[in-house]
Amino acid sequence: MAMKTEILTLLRESGDYISGQELCNRFGVSRTAVWKVMKQLKEEGYIIEAVQNKGYRMTENPDVFSTSELKSRIRNRWAGRELYFYGETGSTNTDAKRLGEEGASHGTVVAADMQTAGRGRRGRTWESPAGRDIYFTILLRPEFAPDKAAGLTLVMALAVALAVEDKCGVEAGIKWPNDVVVNGKKICGILTEMTVETDYIQHVVTGVGINVNMDSIPEEIRESATSLFLESGKKTARAELLQAVLERFEEYYGKYAADLGMDSMLEEYNAHLVNRNRQVRVLDPKGEWEGVAKGINASGELLVENSAGRTVEVYAGEVSVRGLYGYV
């Protein structure tokens, strides 16, 4: 770990003063070198107090989204162990795909403060302004068959919902299969893309956009979208939330890969499913129809009861659903 990253971890974890001398000894560098790192950290937005005879102390948890901040927080076995952070990029999904072609490891994460060509589902664009939201993609090299890949979106949605509840203190729901919602409005979208070689998965990239600290929502999407700040009234440190998402994703991915399905998280998922017992319109390219969503099965399919009372399994890879009365 680079010295800056390590100092950041020490300051955060101690929560108290750390003497300059202690840091010098630990890293075998001069006082000036330590002072320079502190200066850099302050320039990046950290609030660091320096008190004579006591040392340095970090007093707040500001929303710094950077390589060092992320590296000083990510503690997972594989999710985010390899990490790329960009102040600005086209699309983290595109970056992750390229890294996948170049042989990057399972769990590699690409995160950005801003995207100039953020992509949403169905060819839509994903507005990705700087300084307030999370845009990231995780590269996965699953050993299972391509037809199981759609479930990864569900696993990610659950990881985001649980992390948001833990870090932001609001209730989060899942709108099957790709969105996380708070108070009936979207705060997160997920775009999973897969590269297949005849019948095995080369790699999968799962891209996630979370509306974190935006303080106003563009008029056109105000009905259906919101941010964590608007719903909780509090700013969230993006790096902390991202680590929380990755931690849960690592755990739940493990379960998914072991069972080749959602078996062990079915209850938790269905408890978060906002479509449950609601009227939905199934946007099947072969013909749209309406029914009542009942929950998902272990394959991640949405069980929808049609007007004849029959339960139909709707596969996430092909169709999406829309609420009959509003967005959910």
Q: Which stretch binds ligand BTN (CB under 6 A): 17-25, 75-83, 117-125, 145-153?
A: 117-125
| 126 in contact with ligand BTN (CB under 6 A) | yes
Q: How far is the CB of 221 from ligand BTN (least distance, A)?
A: 11
- At 72, list the tokens: 């000083």
**For ligand BTN, the closer CB: 37 or 181:** 181
How many CA atoms lie within 13 Å of 287's alpha carbon, on the beta-carbon side? 1
**For ligand BTN, the closer CB: 41 or 212:** 212
**CB contact at 8 A, 324 and 280:** yes
User: Who's near 144: CB < 8 A, 6+ residues apart?
Assistant: 201, 257, 260
Instruction: Looking at residues 163 to 182 of the shown chain, list those that interact with ligand BTN (rule: CB under 6 A).
Output: 178
**For ligand BTN, the closer CB: 39 or 124:** 124
| 291 in contact with ligand BTN (CB under 6 A) | no
User: Who's near 276: CB < 8 A, 6+ residues apart?
Assistant: 270, 293, 294, 295
Instruction: Looking at residues 30 to 49 of the shown chain, list those that interact with ligand BTN (rule: CB under 6 A).
Output: none
| 135 in contact with ligand BTN (CB under 6 A) | yes
Q: Which one of residues 189, 261, 291, 295 is an interface residue with ligand BTN (CB under 6 A)?
A: 189
Instruction: Looking at residues 205 to 264 of the shown chain, list those that interact with ligand BTN (rule: CB under 6 A).
Output: 207-209
Count other Cβ atoms within 10 Å, centred on residue 27.
14
DSSP summary character for residue 18: B
| 280 in contact with ligand BTN (CB under 6 A) | no
Nearest alpha carbon to residue 141 among 190, 98, 208, 194: 194
Q: Which one of residues 34, 150, 191, 293 is an interface residue with ligand BTN (CB under 6 A)?
A: 191
| 91 in contact with ligand BTN (CB under 6 A) | yes
Phi-psi map region of 136: left, alpha, beta (phi>0 left; psi -120 to 50 alpha):
beta
**Cα–Cα distance, 79 to 59 (Å, whole number):** 29
Q: Which one of residues 66, 68, 93, 211 is an interface residue with ligand BTN (CB under 6 A)?
A: 93
Beta bridge partners of 117: none
H or E element, residue 165 = helix 151-168
Number of residues that bind ligand BTN (CB under 6 A): 20
Q: How far is the CB of 261 from ligand BTN (least distance, A)?
A: 23
**Cα–Cα distance, 164 to 171 (Å, whole number):** 8
DSSP summary character for residue 104: P
Q: Which stretch binds ligand BTN (CB under 6 A): 52-60, 185-193, 231-239, 283-291?
A: 185-193
The residues that touch ligand BTN, with contacts defined as CB under 6 A, are 91-93, 115, 118-121, 124, 126, 135-137, 178, 189-191, 207-209
